[in-house]
Amino acid sequence: MGHLSINQILLKANSFSKKGKIEEARNLYQEILNSYPNDLRAKDGILALNFSIIDNFNDIGNSLYKQGKLDEALETLKKVILQNPNVAESYYNIAIIHTKKNNLKEAVNAYKKAISLKPDFTEAYFNIGRIFYDMGQYYKAIEVFNRVISLNPDHTSAYSHLAVSISKGSFIKSKPHLYSPILKLLQKQNFIQPETIAKATISLIKCDPIIKDILIMKDNYKLDKSKIKIVSNLSNQPLLIKLMSVTPIIDLDIEALLINIRSSILLNLSKIQDIPEILSFQSSLALQCFINEHLYKENLIETEAIKSLEHSIDLIFSEGGQPEPFMILCLASYRPLYLYKWSQSISLPKQFQNISKTLIHDFFKEKKLSSEMPILHKIIEGVSSDVRQQYEENPYPKWMNMRINSTPLTITQVVKNANLSLTNDTINSITSPDILIAGCGTGVHSIGAASHYKNSNVIAIDLSLRSLAYAKRKTQEFGLNNIRYMQADILDLEKLDKQFDIIECAGVLHHMKDPMAGWQVLRNCLKPGGLMRIGLYSELAREYVVQTRNEIKKLDLGTKSFEIKSFRNNVTKLEKSHHHQLVKTADFYDLSSFRDLVFHIQEHRFTIPQINKYLSNLGMRFCGFLNDSEINRTFRLENKSPDDAYNLEKWKLYEEMNTDTFSNMYQFWCQKI
C-alpha cells in the first residue's frame, strides 16, 4: 500500500465513491481487505458501494422509462439484478417495463419473481391481476385480486378490479373462498353498482351444494316442517340474502323458488308467527320484491289472500294496534307499502328499520322533493309528454347503490383514460368544467359524473319529476353538493341561455320524436371545442327487441302493469331464440327496466353510417367509443393501427361480424369543431 496509511487509503476510497468513480473506489477498498481481511470499514465501504450502484442504476432506469426509452431502461435495470439478484423491487420495475412493451408473459414472470422474494408484495399481485384481466383471463384475475384483498383488506383498487372481473363471466364450480370478498363488495357503501356483478354472483350461488338441492324441489315447495328448514338454510346464505336486498335477482330458477316461498308464507301466515328464520328471510324477500317492483306472477288464490291480509291490518290499525312484523313483511312482498293510508304509522322493530326507510319513508321524501323541483318550461303534449308519463309511472332505473369516485379526475385525465382523439386540446385547460347531463333518470348518470369530474358544476335534467326526486334524494344521501336538478325537455334547453364544457346524453335521443332535432339543441348548448358523450341504440344489436315489440303490437297490449307482467310470464314459456335472448338480459328482471326495454312508447335505432352522417351534419368529430376491455381487445386483433379505433368504417365492419357488440348502446365521445 506504499507510503499511505490505511486511514488515508480509506479516505481516498470514500472520496472516489462520492464522486461516482465506482471502480477506483472498489479497487482501493479491496486493496485494504487483501492486506487486512477483517477490516470492517472496507467491508462496509464495498457494501455501501454496491447499494449505491443499485440506487444509481434504478434512478437511471426510472429516468429512461419516463423518457419512453424502454429498451435502454430495461437493460439498465438488468444491471441492478446483476449487482444484487435479491431485490424484489428490481424485478417489479422490470415487470412494469415489460407491461409497457406488451410483453405480458415476461411481465408476469418478473412480478412472480418479485413475489418469491417478497411474499406480501401486494402491488405485484395486483398488477398480475390487471394483466390477466387485460388478456381476458377473468377467472385468473379474480383469484389474484382476491389474494390482494387477503393480504390487504383495505386495498380499494383490488375490490374495484375484482368487481369488474366478476362482471365478465359466470361460474360453473363452487368457490366458497370467494363468498367473503364478494359479500364485502356488496356491503361497502358507494363502492359498486350491485347490478354489475349480480348475474355472475348468482351463478356462483347456484353452484353451492345446498342451493343446488333446494332448487331441485323449487316447484314442489310447501311450507311444512321440512321446508321450514329450507327457508332457514336460505337465511344462512349471506351472499344470497344480501344480493336480494340490493339488486334484482337475474335468474328464473331462483325467481321460481322465491315465488313459491312467498306464496307458501302468505297462505300459511298463522304457522310462522314464532319462526325467526322465516321472519329474517321475509325481510330480504320484501326488499327484493320492492326492487323488482312486484314483478312476480300472482294467482287468484294469492290475490284473495292479500285482500284478507289487507283487511286484517286495516282492522288492527283502526283499533289503535300495531300489526305483527310478519304480516307487514308478507304484504310488502306483494304490494308497495307506501300506497296504504296507514303506512307511515307502521312501527317495526329495530332490525327492520331498513324496511321502513326503503319501502315507506323514502317515497314520501321523494314526494316532497318532487313538489319543490325547479321547472325550466312546461312539458307540452306529444311524444315528450308521453315519455314523461311512462317514467312518472315507472322511474328508471330503480337502484339501491352505486360506485362513487373517491378521486375525481381532471378533464385531461378523463381524456387520457378514455383514449380520446381530440380535434384540439383547449378542453384540457378547463379546470372547473360546467357539465350538462341531458336525461339523468334516477341519478346514476348525474351522480357518477359529479363524482367523476374534478371541480365540476353539474346541471341534470329529465322529463320525469319522480325520477328527478329519486335522483335528488340519492344525491343528498351521498353528500354531493355540485349537482342542480331541473325538470326540462331537451328541446327547451336553449332557454337556459348557457353553454357547457361537457354534455352527456346517454339513452335519451332515441326516445325523442326527432332525435336529430334534440341532438342539434345539445350541440348548440356546447362550447366550441367542448366534448359530448352520446348513447344511441344499435339497429343490429336490438333485433331481438324489435321482434318482441312487434309481438306486443300484434297482441295489442297496453302498458298497464298487469299487461307487462302477463306478457313477461308468457315469454318464459316460449321457445324462439329472441325470447331466450330477452330472458338473458338484466332488464327482464324488474318492471321499469322491462317496460323500458320492450314496451317503450317511442324508440329509434341507428347504424354506424347514420351516426357518421349525423356527426358530419352537426359539425362534430368522432373521438372514440366507450367500450370495455374485451371489445377493445378483440377489435385490435384485426385492427392493429392506433388510428383504427377512431375509424367508423372499421367499427361498422367489426359490428357486422359481431352483431351484439353494442348490445347496451353505442356510447361514444364527439367534439364540437
**Which residues span the domain enclosing 23?**
6-119
CB 130 within 8 A of CB 96: no
Q: Which of 369, 402, 421 is the last residue of a domain?
A: 369
Does the structure show a pLDDT above 60 at 114? Answer: yes
* Domain-embedded: residue 145: no
Q: How many domains does the chain divide into? A: 4
What's residue 31's pLDDT?
74
606, β-bridge pairs: 538
462 and 516 co-located in one domain: yes
Q: Which of 119, 140, 172 is the last residue of a domain?
A: 119
What's residue 24's pLDDT?
75
pLDDT grade for 61, boundaries at 50, 70 and 90: very low
The angle, 0 to 180 degrees and rounded to 10, between the axes of the packed helices 179-187 and 156-166 is 110
Q: Which of 94, 119, 144 is the last residue of a domain?
A: 119
User: Residue 483: which H helix or E strand, with range?
Assistant: strand 483-487
CB 273 within 8 A of CB 326: yes
- Provide φ and ψ at 591, rounded to 5°: -60, -50
Query: What is the SS3 assignment for 504?
Result: strand
212 and 356 co-located in one domain: yes
Q: In b/e form, how buried is each residue of 58-75, taking b as 16+ CB within 10 angstroms?
A: bebbeebbeeeebeebbe
Measured distance CA(327)–CA(266) in Å, rounded: 9
pLDDT grade for 29, boundaries at 50, 70 and 90: low
Residues 6 or more apart from 410 whose CB is under 8 A from it? Answer: 428, 431, 454
Query: What is the SS3 assignment for 435?
Result: strand
* Domain-embedded: residue 125: no
Does the structure show a pLDDT above 80 at 58? Answer: no
550 and 510 co-located in one domain: no
What's residue 90's pLDDT?
82
pLDDT grade for 26, boundaries at 50, 70 and 90: low
pLDDT tens per residue across span 620-637: 999 999 977 788 888 999
* Domain-embedded: residue 87: yes
- CATH number assigned to the domain comprising residue 524: 3.40.50.150
What's residue 53's pLDDT?
47
226 and 362 co-located in one domain: yes
pLDDT tens per residue across span 213-236: 888 875 555 555 666 778 888 999
237 and 346 co-located in one domain: yes
Q: Which of 27-31, 361-365, 420-424, 447-451 has the lowest mean pLDDT?
A: 27-31
What's residue 80's pLDDT?
65
Does the structure show a pLDDT above 80 at 401? Answer: yes
What's residue 54's pLDDT?
45
What's residue 418's pLDDT?
93
238 and 290 co-located in one domain: yes
What's residue 240's pLDDT?
97
pLDDT tens per residue across span 339-392: 999 999 999 999 999 999 999 999 999 999 999 999 999 988 799 999 999 999
308 and 425 co-located in one domain: no
* Domain-embedded: residue 161: no
What's residue 42's pLDDT?
58
What's residue 405's pLDDT?
86
Measured distance CA(68)–CA(91) in Å, rounded: 19
Sheet holding 500-506, edge to edge: 483-487, 457-462, 434-438, 500-506, 526-536, 666-672, 620-625
Do the bridges between strand 457-462 and strand 483-487 make them parallel or antiparallel, or are there none, so unpaired?
Answer: parallel
pLDDT tens per residue across span 433-485: 999 999 999 999 999 999 999 999 999 999 999 999 999 999 999 999 999 99
* Domain-embedded: residue 441: yes
Mean per-residue pLDDT, 195-200: 95
44 and 97 co-located in one domain: yes
What's residue 18's pLDDT?
63
Other beta carbons within 10 angstroms of residue 6's beta carbon come to 15
Query: What is the SS3 assignment for 602?
Result: coil
419 and 460 co-located in one domain: yes
217 and 317 co-located in one domain: yes
* Domain-embedded: residue 235: yes
How high is the mean pLDDT of the chain? 90
In terms of phi and psi (left: phi > 0; alpha: psi -120 to 50; beta: otherwise), the region of 2 is left
- CATH number assigned to the domain comprising residue 35: 1.25.40.10
Residues 6 or more apart from 32 whose CB is under 8 A from it? Answer: 1, 6, 9, 10, 13, 39, 41, 42
* Domain-embedded: residue 299: yes
532 and 549 co-located in one domain: no
657 and 557 co-located in one domain: no
C-alpha cell at 70: 424502454
Measured distance CA(389)–CA(463) in Å, rounded: 9
* Domain-embedded: residue 183: no
Does the structure show a pLDDT above 50 at 56? Answer: no
More reliable by pLDDT, 86 or 548 = 548
For residue 359, what is the DSSP state? Answer: I
pLDDT tens per residue across span 282-291: 999 999 999 9
